[in-house]
Amino acid sequence: MKLKHVFVFIGGLFFGFGLAFGGMSKQEIVLSFLQLKDLGLLLLLGGSALVTAITINLIPKLLNNPILGGEFKKRKRTLNKRTVIGAIIFGVGWGMSGLCPGSAMASLGVGNLPVLIGIAGMFLGAYIMGRYFT
Amino acid sequence: MISSFMFPLGFLPYIIGGTLIGIGVSLIYIATGLHATQSSFFDTTISFFSKRPYFLQKQYLDSRGWRLTFALGVILGALIYTITLAAEGFFTTSVEWWRLAIGGFLVGFGTRLSKGCTSGHGISGLASLSSTSAVAVLTFIVVGILTALAIQSLGVLP
């Protein structure tokens, strides 16, 4: 077990705990946002993006390298048709089910086992995308 | 008045939950320089089983180990919340299986086509001040709302 995996695992614990604490492992709460009955999801998304923004914009100015070595990776994405069409398809799936990839994983931890059907669907969708649309 | 109307469960669960998620992503970034995001996990895990060149690209082979570790951490983190703090204990959704199946398929296909999900575009992308991710986030939130409202109007609940 590399030290990198230990940190990734502990970070994952915070991530999953936070998702469950914020109710995201309940599709009913995600859907209540998408039905505009409870806007809390925006606070959760905005809060997590804000904390992360402070870290990834500030830490590389203070440290030359990550603590375990390597480099601070830049997340590069170019805007094209696939970005937008993919986001539309994701939005339809999200609005139908209340599922997104991270919250689906956290759902397993709260014993929300019907979500396994959704995760199987996600693997199939990712496979069809990679197999026929690349 | 406005708070109970727009935030019936209050602000705190969302703000605390979001902060914890941000701490998790930050910890991984400070230690390793990696962006801990979710939807690439499907492609990198498929790479264990598929021989298609798309799934065997170097960045997937290099990251499939830690992405699996990350996913296990997320599951266990949610379990720890459930057995320590969740007043109602374990939870099972009442969303019908066909919505989970079809919705899940579209989520898998769409996030990989768009190269990001609520965490990749939503958290890491917005935090990186990426205009590409901002467009993606705006798009999936608007489409998600329209879809959920349309399904609700057909009488399909929750």
- Do the beta carbons of residue A130 and residue B52 sit within 8 Å? yes
Question: d(Cα A27, Cα A68) in Å, to the nearest integer?
Answer: 37
In this complex, do A45 and B94 lie within 8 Å of one another by their Cβ atoms? no
Q: Give how far B61 is from chain A: nearest CA, Å.
A: 15
- Do the beta carbons of residue A130 and residue B51 sit within 8 Å? no
A75 at interface of B, judged by CB pairs closer than 8 A = yes
A117 at interface of B, judged by CB pairs closer than 8 A = yes
Helix, strand or coil for residue A3?
helix
Q: What is the pLDDT of residue A122?
A: 98
Task: Please check the confidence at residue B1 and state whether its pLDDT lies above 60.
Answer: no
Q: What is the pLDDT of residue B2?
A: 62
- Angle of the A27-34 helix axis to the A101-109 helix axis, nearest 10: 150
Question: d(Cα B72, Cα A23) in Å, to the nearest integer?
Answer: 19
Q: Which residues of chain B have a CB within 8 Å of the CB of A65?
A: 33
Q: Judge if ipTM > 0.85.
A: yes
Helix, strand or coil for residue B108?
helix
* Distance from the Cα of residue B111 to its chain's centroid: 10
Question: d(Cα A14, Cα A94) in Å, to the nearest integer?
Answer: 23
A58 at interface of B, judged by CB pairs closer than 8 A = no
Torsion of CA B116, B122, B127, B131, to 10 degrees: 70
Put simply, the chain A residues between 83 and 102 with a CB less than 8 A from any chain B CB are 83-102
For B57-90, write each residue's pLDDT tens digit: 999 999 999 999 999 999 999 999 999 999 889 9
Q: Which of B19, B22, B107 sits opposite A94 (nearest CB)?
A: B107
